[in-house]
Structure 1
Amino acid sequence: MQPLDITRHIESLVADRLRHAAPAVVLLGPRQVGKTTLARRLAASWPQGATYLDLELPSDRRRLDDAEAYLRMQAPKLVVIDEIHRAPEIFAVLRGLIDERRAAGQHFGHFLLLGSAALDLMRQSSESLAGRVAYLEMAPVNAPEATAHGLPTDVLWSRGGFPDSLLAASDGLSFTWRQDFIRSYLERDVPMFAPRMPAQALERLWTMLAHQQGGLLNQSQLAASLGVSAPTVVRYVDLLVDLQLVRRLSPWSTNAGKRLVKTPKVYVRDSGLVHALLGLETLDAVLGHPVAGASFEGLAIETLVHSLPAGSRAWFYRTHEGAEVDLLIERGGQPQMAIEIKRSSAPSLERGFGQACQDLSVQQRWVVYPGTERFPLRHGAQAIGLADLAGVLRGGA
């Protein structure tokens, strides 16, 4: 497969925030997702010029021995600091520098900060940069981005959205890259972010979650399988969520009078990592494995969640009586859209979906499937392709 310069939708959003909305932007995302490529491209075209620092490099770390003096000298340029979680003490320095630039009439576009650990980084930066920072999340390549560059959704689904995996010259090289990626996280990032957490146990949990893709989080069952306590499992899952490798999808639980499932569902966020953890090297291997449907569901959920307009949130809905919606989009406390996800070219709907839509009084009802045509289904729903529905959501529908 030929290398492609895939345009990422978030790039224009980062640029807009820096130019018009915030002195600093924190761009969060797992390693190798494309943050550095995006930042370098943005820096190269920044009107006032830019300075790029990678805190994994000792030479760049040394430039910040006197961070206040060095960063003050860079004004009015945009300063990009990669791997910012390696120097959390810089946040306090940035606050004073941002205020200085504001006093000089420079209100936006001071710093672009890149990091991998979402919750920890947000906590550190919010303590020092309250009111001065915008947070954006960069996910792996999604269906609309792949489709726009001629990459079939099945290739994206099989290989996942990390660019080096997606654009590898062969399935074998893609699979090897993903195996190395998993090993790197376990050997390098886990010790950095959680020094006392055994990487082998975390790998086993990660693999269990891949086997149970899209299942309810059963802490007791996972704890028994790992030989650890339930609180320990929670800490392990918290770390994978924090590193943006796992998603906890919360249940909608505000319907009075309904016996609702209140346990979150858990997804390994990148479908390619699901397949690598399960040893599935090719699309044929994925299609022949029981995880296929749940894996496609995870791909769809990631694409759709990252296509939501501002102010919308994603949930799932399930009652003990069998009413269920895979993805429920809410805005202003009111359910707006019910989405079912089917890995079938001829999707059909169960009665539980219709009952859930009735419970929630949702009129917009969609069924995501692997095709591209739209056609009506029962319960007032319409079948739609994944990239098309992402476009509907981006339009604010």
Structure 2
Amino acid sequence: MIPRAATEKLLQLASLFRAVAVIGPRQSGKTTLVRSLFKDKPYVSLEDPDTRQYALEDPRGFLGNYPDGAILDEVQRTPDLFSYLQGILDERNRMGEFILTGSNNFLLQQNITQSLAGRVAYLQLLPFSLQELYNRDAPELMKQDTVLLQGGYPPLHDHGIPPMDWFPNYLRTYIERDVRQIKNVTDLIVFERFVRLLAGRSGQELNITPLAVEVGVDIKTIQSWIGILESSFIIFLLRPHFKNFNKTIVKRPKIYFYDTGLVCSLLGITQEKQLETHPLRGNIFETCVVSDLIKKRTNNGREINLYYWRDKTGREVDLVIDNVDHLTPVEIKSGKTVHTDFFKNLLYWMELSDTKNGFVLYGGDQNQSRSSGIQVSSWRDLTLENFMS
């Protein structure tokens, strides 16, 4: 088992709250992690039809079987259980009694907000970060195209399943089970086509109108489907930074997938040599970097502080890290050779915002410190625990 960076935070939360909810996409390693850390607790899968029926028909009797708490897996499948769980947590008042897992953020948060607010802590567990995968080995051995093609879902690394075999089955299971659970999407074929079209937009501004035309549905349907993908941890929306520095800025979010392996599969990329010259290679690399920085935050239980900036003239900074007391701009480039073009938008934004320091994170190996205050860093630095944290 590959050690998870979220381990320390999960144990800390379990010592401070009566229950902890570990949420994330299917197959991100939630069950493996909680079962390894809380071996003394009974494990209950609410995906099992008989167990789920018992929990729904007799919630008091079901919970009465676990006087010392339990791990309740995929707990969003039994929403009525939360109200009964509230009474038990209040009565016993013991820390870390129940560990909940779920792969549907919307359903889980909705029920927790209604019943367990203040009693439960959240921890988001995403697929493996680069630090988790490669920090244990020599990061210099990382091959960029291999990283992008495989992504970070645990089964591909724990069991060595080829991406071309695993991702199509993952997508099929996700659409047939989770999508129907969140909302009754009647035409799953159209929905799958929508997801594939969206993969080609990862790392780009989200413009719903042309997407609706291309898919052949109305704008409200696209907005609803975007919500489904967000709540099930397939995509996330990177918001524009709210400070405009007296410039008219773009207000639409950018869309990213949490995993580049899934993006490659959706785009029909099955071999590394296809990535070398693929027109969307830069977007896939950017997706890898942004999602990895998000994982660094979520593994430590911290709020996402990442934004992007673009004005109406097309000048853009890929990332703006907002640390409250200072802003850090980041340009992301997949190229392995540093070019002067890498710095143009950064220097413009730094002057506009009166910021002294910035980063260029690129696909090469050499680090540089420029007199302009810009640090050029190799993408391999993402494996460092405190890099841009």
Q: Same fold (TM over 0.5)?
A: yes
Asked whether the 8 Å contact 1:157–1:272 carries over to 2, the reply is yes
Match of 2:287 in 1: 298
Match of 2:256 in 1: 267
Structure with more contact order per residue of length (Cα contacts < 8 Å, sep ≥ 6): 2
- Of 11, 35, 41, which aligns to 1:50? 41
> What one-letter code is carried by the residue in structure 2 that aligns with 1:178?
F
Secondary structure at 1:75 match in 2: coil
> What one-letter code is carried by the residue in structure 1 that aligns with 2:379?
L
- Of 29, 35, 38, which aligns to 1:40? 35
- Of 153, 166, 170, which aligns to 1:181? 170
- Of 75, 96, 99, which aligns to 1:112? 99
> What one-letter code is carried by the residue in structure 2 that aligns with 1:255?
N
**CA offsets, 1:364-395, max 9 Å, x none?**
31121234442124742112233525646568
Distance 2:380 2:245 in 1: 34
Match of 1:145 in 2: 132
User: CA separation of 1:244/1:378 partners in 2, compared to 1, >3 Å: closer, same or farther?
Assistant: farther
1:340-351 alignment runs, 5 A limit = 340-348=331-339, 349-351=342-344
Residue 245, structure 1, aligned to residue 234, structure 2: yes
User: CA separation of 1:12/1:284 partners in 2, compared to 1, >3 Å: closer, same or farther?
Assistant: same
Q: What is the CA-CA distance between 1:253 and the residue it aligns to?
A: 2.5
Secondary structure at 1:273 match in 2: helix
> What one-letter code is carried by the residue in structure 1 that aligns with 2:13?
R
> What one-letter code is carried by the residue in structure 1 that aligns with 2:142?
P
**CA offsets, 1:86-111, max 9 Å, x none?**
10111101110100111xxx2x1111
Distance 2:283 2:91 in 1: 51
> What one-letter code is carried by the residue in structure 2 that aligns with 1:83?
E
- Of 55, 66, 69, which aligns to 1:74? 66
Q: What is the CA-CA distance between 1:294 and the residue it aligns to?
A: 0.5
Match of 1:384 in 2: 377
Distance 2:275 2:186 in 1: 31
> What one-letter code is carried by the residue in structure 1 that aligns with 2:210?
Q
Distance 2:266 2:159 in 1: 18
Residue 84, structure 1, aligned to residue 79, structure 2: no
Asked whether the 8 Å contact 1:304–1:393 carries over to 2, the reply is no
Secondary structure at 1:9 match in 2: coil
> What one-letter code is carried by the residue in structure 1 that aligns with 2:18?
P
Distance 1:23 1:394 in 2: 32
Match of 2:362 in 1: 369
Distance 2:115 2:143 in 1: 42
Residue 124, structure 1, aligned to residue 124, structure 2: no
User: CA separation of 1:43/1:216 partners in 2, compared to 1, >3 Å: closer, same or farther?
Assistant: same
Match of 1:213 in 2: 202
User: CA separation of 1:94/1:361 partners in 2, compared to 1, >3 Å: closer, same or farther?
Assistant: farther
> What one-letter code is carried by the residue in structure 2 that aligns with 1:385?
S
Match of 1:16 in 2: 12
Q: What is the CA-CA distance between 1:237 and the residue it aligns to?
A: 0.9
Asked whether the 8 Å contact 2:294–2:304 carries over to 1, the reply is no
Residue 324, structure 1, aligned to residue 316, structure 2: yes
For structure 2, the 5+ residue unaligned runs are: none
> What one-letter code is carried by the residue in structure 1 that aligns with 2:30?
K
> What one-letter code is carried by the residue in structure 2 that aligns with 1:138?
L
% identical equivalent positions: 30
Asked whether the 8 Å contact 1:210–1:278 carries over to 2, the reply is yes
User: CA separation of 1:378/1:288 partners in 2, compared to 1, >3 Å: closer, same or farther?
Assistant: farther
> What one-letter code is carried by the residue in structure 2 that aligns with 1:319?
D
Secondary structure at 2:361 match in 1: strand
Secondary structure at 2:377 match in 1: strand
1:163-174 alignment runs, 5 A limit = 163-167=154-158, 169=160, 173-174=162-163
Q: What is the CA-CA distance between 1:160 and the residue it aligns to?
A: 0.8
